[in-house]
Structure 1
């Protein structure tokens, strides 16, 4: 099956399909291969998100993180339950080269503080309902609360995740995520041998 060239039009987007296998590219490849198919359905919000829209949302998250100063190798803690915004932020972080650090929201504040310190987290994304639990801990560990996922609609003194990403570029992020792909003697990225059914993901 040929890829939709109208969707993957830019050099950066094509580079994400050719010669690279990185987790952050999964959203882009799915958006390119199945642009109009539903990726996620959120019944309680009567929301259906296509693969192409999900890819654009993760791009906005990636650009927002980069513009907020999070660089390749920065560590971003997540204290949150499962949600669509969580996934957007996770794939956005991967696309930006940021390292996600998942912390179980059910553990004690002391254990969360330990995870902050041990992971050397630079920032935090948190469910709005959990902000009160993490606020004292980020202050003690010199961590920035970047934004809050809108989980229960709780008022918090930090931007919502939607506000944080709103207005940012939804195109591909121009960053080399992977530095250590196998190289040939000529310095070119080594081709991976893939089953025929999977070739279209990487061509």
Structure 2
């Protein structure tokens, strides 16, 4: 049975966009059917235009559809990704979660498998808190959390976050240790697909 994977994310300047594209590659290479979706942007154009990298990412990701509740129903497993906003997930992703009360009340979000990524401007920018915040929501949904854990050497090479792969950027907006982060993202994705596939039989 083919695993159906929803990758839903928010990214302003593109770090998260790159991470989820790596995840999509890995999931498809491991036999999953993937929907890559972004969450709805809440920031006004004046804010986006104040940062050239933000506007560039918005334009570059125009072809990626916005996530819907139907995507949640379709999927067997989820990957969620968010940058750190003062140590918590971005409001854009949180709003999407907040709109799922109807599905949650019907029990339709339970028993889905989930893992998460995060990013911030520095190595101690709240990445672990962001992932734990996502997992808190997932526990309320009754989802089954599949963390990165310490099961792949890539986790250590990318910074050692057992909750989920996290990235940092330098002063020029470039991802630090990009090759290591890519490997960790792809190993974490494969782990999620494998666990989900084993459960589905």
Q: What TM bracket, shorter-length normalisation?
A: 0.3 to 0.5
TM-score of the aligned structures, taking structure 1 as reference length? 0.34
Find the structure with the greater CA-based Rg. 1
Greater helix fraction, Structure 1 or Structure 2? 2
- When normalised by structure 2's length, the TM-score is 0.34
